[in-house]
Structure 1
Amino acid sequence: MDISNKTVHYSGINALRLEWPAELSVKYGVLITFNEGEENSNEVKYEVRITRLKPGKDGEPLFQIERISDVFVNEILPDLVADRLAYAAGKVFYPLVITVDQNGGFQSIYNHQEILKRWQSVKNKVLDNFEGSLVEDYLERMEKQLANADSINLAFLNNDWFIHTFFKPLYKEYGQHRTAESVYKFPIAKDFNVEGYITEEKLSGQTNSFGAIELLHNGTIKPLEDDLYIANRATGDYEGYYLLHPKYKRIISVVSDFNYGAPLMSKVKVKITVIPKSGEEFDQDFQLDTNVKGLPVTEMVVIDGQTSRKGFWDRLLNK
């Protein structure tokens, strides 16, 4: 449904509703740090373009994810043969089209057939650049996995940090006290003895100093209530800080920290931030018809229809 020229008012309920027009693309930088500050620390960095697509054939909300840069590991391209092979073969997935639920949470891969059609071309390029029986075995295993849509869905569900962080069910009612509670299972906690992080989600009562909506997540590991796991229960915490566009409610930035001990402690930090268009500020279109800075979130008018990167994170984090 085209709502580009309509004005939407909130009801009296504290809620978030995504107003991302179809066919609009936004670029983001992604930085994932594993075990920050430790001897075994590693950093993965890349850029993506996210496009809201028109609904699918059954009315599903669709988003397209494109990787628009190389993937850098510790500031360099993957150098180990195994890493280069996985990276080259993994290009078959992009552009990736996913379905989300009505709250914005990841559901499934939508363009499975397109991925299958791309495979032969990607496979030929891999064989042009790699050789050996190990390469052929890897491609054979991947080909079998690609043929099974459920296997692909499970792979992204279990392993993709960007999808887990960006496509969360944020768009829902938060009740009278602007809070909600959910259980989230991130890639850091794959054990069968863990249900996930039981998470309190708190929506800010007013926009911040530069007009963005704040959403805070605080979670702790919820172990299964099973006598088999009492002796070795995992522990862990999760903190997420989302900044959302005051008009469209799309993500401007995310900083999320995860730790998990089972029994050794692992840490992951995920940063996702919008990349403004050349010559624009990230918040240049925050203003609505009236000055909304400081107004309660539930009183804002949503009009549905970014740059110097210097000091970008300082501005976002209000430092």
Structure 2
Amino acid sequence: MKPKYKKYKIQKGDTLQSVSEKLDKTTHEVKNFHNVFCDSDEYIGVTFPKGLKELYIYPTYNEKELSLIPKVPFDDAFKLSLKPTQNKINYGVMYTIKSGNEENTLKFEVSVIYKGKNEKDNLVFEVDKISKTFINDEEVNTIADELAIKTSDVLYPLEVNITEEGKWIGVNNYKEINKRWEQIKEKILDEYEGEWVERYLLLNEKTLGNEDDLLGSLQKDWFLNSYFNTIYVYYSHKFKFQTSTTFPILSNCKSVSYDIEQKIEEYLDEYNLIRIEQKGELKEERSKADLENEMNIPYYGVLYPNRDIAKGNYRSLYFLNGKTNLIESLFLECSIELEVMKEIQVVVSLL
């Protein structure tokens, strides 16, 4: 079996920059590839974590070896198709949220199952939470966190509408969610009391009371944005193309845009998985000041188009089953350089 990765033994004096130069890779390529396979305590941020002894690095193949490796089964004209099955798939999900020097993790488990097509010929997938939510490896233990989890539970099971390219575009079971809210609200009011609780529920009720508002809220969901991404598309004969993507890294304004290169490996790995990578940089009409103030329009960006340009990076890796083309694991990381650096990491893997 061909190795999915090699290991590099960290030498005294090695830095992320010096090792990247040895391997003829960028620092982002080296750290992001390593982060896909390593344990959470070995994640590389700006520098190597203390005590890191081995680094996961890209394997290399010669031409003879490549001829023995199965190729990705494209449809006509290098089209990768979504082939949904009605088997429930369970995933573990972990978010790592970094804001300056502060870092927090959030973990939970979900199931995903294909339900068929709706009247508009969109694919319908059901997403359901199947575990408790853990913040920094502990169950939620504050009233505010408990309320947030209980009110978000009204969404599940959630049916989402998906395009043939794998992008999620809407909610399919809005009426059912609205009905569930009344029952959940009564339970919360029986368990908690206080004016601030009622105000909190009222804000949630306003969001749930309008389908467009609910859709706008869900557009900030990191799992939906990373799992239902546009990866089932036509790839060029070079197995890559330039495109753009968005991600809701800021909580109070619309998603930010990144110009990316999307690349699919021509060959399956030794586990018969398809590897897709997206990598690029922030490309926004909104300036750094606009984004600092979480504005939806480029106010300062229009006034001063060549000043205060925001910077950031985007990287994702998808590993798909070579027969079904369904996601087995993914890693997504995006950042934006504001006065306080913001970075989100999403890891999804089969249970």
Range of TM-score over shorter length: 0.7 to 0.9
Corresponding residue for 1:303?
A: none
**2:258 counterpart SS class:** strand
Corresponding residue for 2:293?
A: none
- Give runs of aligned pairs for residues 286-305 of structure 1, distance below 5 A: none
Corresponding residue for 2:98?
A: 35
**2:138 counterpart SS class:** coil
CA deviation vs aligned residue, 1:151-177 (integer Å, no higher than 9, x gap): 1111111x2110110000110101111
Task: Confirm or deny: 8 A CA contact 1:193 1:223 kept in the other structure.
Answer: no
1:151 and 2:227 matched: no
- Post-superposition shift, 1:58? 2.6
Alpha-carbon separation, structure 1, partners of 2:254 and 2:213: 22
**1:41 counterpart SS class:** strand
Alpha-carbon separation, structure 2, partners of 1:217 and 1:111: 31
1:128 and 2:204 matched: no
Corresponding residue for 2:309?
A: 233
AA at the equivalent of 1:60 = N
Task: Confirm or deny: 8 A CA contact 2:247 2:255 kept in the other structure.
Answer: no
Corresponding residue for 2:238?
A: 177
1:271 and 2:347 matched: yes
AA at the equivalent of 1:223 = E
1:13 to 46, 53, 77: 77
Alpha-carbon separation, structure 2, partners of 1:193 and 1:101: 21
Corresponding residue for 1:257?
A: 333
Alpha-carbon separation, structure 2, partners of 1:143 and 1:191: 18
Aligned residues: 264
Corresponding residue for 2:29?
A: none
Task: Confirm or deny: 8 A CA contact 1:180 1:200 kept in the other structure.
Answer: yes
Task: Confirm or deny: 8 A CA contact 2:134 2:140 kept in the other structure.
Answer: yes
**Relative to structure 2, which stretch is displaced further, 223-232 or 103-112?**
223-232
Alpha-carbon separation, structure 1, partners of 2:101 and 2:341: 13
Summarize the Cα distance change of 1:65–1:192 in structure 2 as closer, same or farther, 3 Å threshold.
closer
AA at the equivalent of 2:83 = E
Q: Which runs of 5+ in 2 are unaligned?
A: 1-72, 286-300
Corresponding residue for 2:57?
A: none
**2:164 counterpart SS class:** coil
Summarize the Cα distance change of 1:187–1:178 in structure 2 as closer, same or farther, 3 Å threshold.
same
Alpha-carbon separation, structure 1, partners of 2:281 and 2:225: 17
2:268 to 183, 192, 207: 207
Corresponding residue for 2:148?
A: 86
Corresponding residue for 2:14?
A: none
CA deviation vs aligned residue, 1:23-73 (integer Å, no higher than 9, x gap): 32100000111129x641100000000010111123221000000001110
Alpha-carbon separation, structure 1, partners of 2:255 and 2:74: 37
Give me the TM-score of the superposition, normalised by structure 1: 0.78
Summarize the Cα distance change of 1:189–1:120 in structure 2 as closer, same or farther, 3 Å threshold.
closer
AA at the equivalent of 1:30 = V
Summarize the Cα distance change of 1:218–1:123 in structure 2 as closer, same or farther, 3 Å threshold.
same
Q: Percent identity?
A: 27
Root mean square deviation, CA, Å: 1.9
Corresponding residue for 1:163?
A: 224
Corresponding residue for 1:60?
A: 122
- Post-superposition shift, 1:194? 8.0
Task: Confirm or deny: 8 A CA contact 2:244 2:258 kept in the other structure.
Answer: yes
- Post-superposition shift, 1:100? 1.0
Q: Which runs of 5+ in 1 are unaligned?
A: 1-8, 276-319
Give me the TM-score of the superposition, normalised by structure 2: 0.71
**1:235 counterpart SS class:** coil
**1:226 counterpart SS class:** helix
Alpha-carbon separation, structure 2, partners of 1:203 and 1:219: 15
**Relative to structure 2, which stretch is displaced further, 56-65 or 105-114?**
56-65
- Post-superposition shift, 1:130? 1.0
CA deviation vs aligned residue, 1:187-237 (integer Å, no higher than 9, x gap): 115687985011110010101122111001101000217343543221100
